[in-house]
């Protein structure tokens, strides 16, 4: 599957797998009891819904690319590497899901020879399907999408995520937060990094930054933003380093350097 056309076909087939699992998650929404929640750490929760959704995604994607490897959040399958590797977050925004807040998503990406070539983020409750592939642009429910074209931070709506396990940079983070509060139209923290990136891709948000994430949180969204005409880097402009999730800054071409300058005052 080397051509753009074959990636488009794969995106369509993988998209159907994701849609089927989204329907499975919607059925379970607001039904998980406190007794069924597993606390991985104080701010990291998981339920049988995450795990069953991941198994379904793995099975469906394995059928499409039998030799592909997997990197998944819940580790329901062997974690390995190969020419093709699916990177999966079966339920990004689990805490929202378990508290009945309707903002959570499925995120998958295909990495080929170490390069991200396909990404899907599916907002489960509103059934919004974001998809992009290398050279194919970015799409929302069949409609082409682009990042916003705002030129000034003063006109921007900025998204972020609060650190939930790594607090070593908390003071710097709060200083950056203060700066964006003072200089932008507003800030939002909604609880799903994958959706934050998807919202950058379609222009709902103008910039997004967060640290201490993981590859499965950001991989699908990175493809969306880049194919929608945006830039995704770490806090210092490195395009390759953002894949780890340790630092992520996403924005349109005009806003990205302005947001980076603000962040680099403290990081």
What digits encode the pLDDT tens for the residues 72-120? 998 889 998 899 999 999 999 999 998 899 999 999 999 999 999 999 9
Residue 164, CA atoms < 13 Å, CB-side half-sphere: 18
Strand partners for 109 = 87, 119
Examine the pLDDT at 20 and tell me if it is beyond 60. Answer: yes
Residue-range domain boundaries for the chain? 4-145, 153-264
pLDDT in tens, 124-158: 999 999 999 999 999 999 999 999 999 999 999 99
Check whether 249 has a pLDDT greater than 70. yes
130: Cα separation from own chain's centroid: 11
Identical topology for domains 4-145 and 153-264: no
Q: Is residue 50 predicted with pLDDT exceeding 50?
A: yes
Q: Is 5 exposed, middle or buried (0-12, 13-18, 19+ CB in 10 A)?
A: exposed
Please name the fold of domain 4-145: Fructose-1,6-Bisphosphatase; Chain A, domain 1 (3.30.540)
Nearest to residue 119, comparing CAs of 233, 195, 31? Answer: 195
Pick the CATH number of 153-264 from 1.20.1300.10, 3.40.190.80, 3.40.50.2000, 3.40.50.300: 3.40.190.80
- pLDDT bucket at 1, cuts 50 / 70 / 90: very low
Q: What angle do CA 120, 198, 49 make, to 5 degrees?
A: 60
pLDDT value for 22: 98
Q: What pLDDT shows up at residue 234?
A: 98
């Amino acid at each position: 599957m080397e051509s753009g056309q074959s990636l488009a076909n794969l995106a369509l087939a993988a998209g159907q797998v994701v849609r089927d699992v989204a329907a499975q998650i919607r059925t379970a929404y607001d039904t998980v009891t406190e007794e069924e929640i597993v606390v991985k750490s104080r701010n990291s929760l998981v339920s049988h819904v995450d795990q069953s959704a991941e198994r379904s995604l793995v099975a469906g994607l394995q059928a499409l690319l039998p030799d592909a490897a997997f990197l998944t959040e819940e580790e329901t399958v062997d974690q390995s590497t190969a020419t093709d590797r699916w990177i999966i977050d079966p339920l990004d925004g689990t805490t929202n899901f378990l508290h009945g807040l309707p903002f959570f998503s499925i995120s998958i990406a295909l990495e080929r020879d170490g390069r991200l070539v396909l990404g899907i983020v599916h907002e489960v409750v509103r059934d919004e399907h974001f998809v992009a592939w290398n050279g194919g642009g970015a799409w929302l429910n069949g409609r082409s999408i682009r990042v916003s074209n705002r030129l000034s931070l003063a006109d921007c709506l900025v998204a972020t995520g609060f650190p939930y396990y790594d607090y070593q940079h908390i003071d710097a983070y709060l200083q950056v937060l203060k700066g964006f509060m003072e200089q932008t139209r507003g800030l939002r923290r909604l609880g799903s990094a994958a959706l934050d990136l998807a919202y950058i891709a379609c222009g709902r948000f103008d910039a997004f930054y967060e640290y201490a994430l993981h590859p499965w949180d950001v991989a699908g969204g990175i493809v969306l933003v880049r194919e929608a005409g945006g830039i995704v880097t770490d806090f210092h402009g490195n395009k390759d380093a953002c894949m780890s999730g340790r630092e992520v800054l996403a924005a349109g071409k005009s806003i990205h350097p302005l947001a980076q300058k603000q962040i680099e005052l403290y990081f």
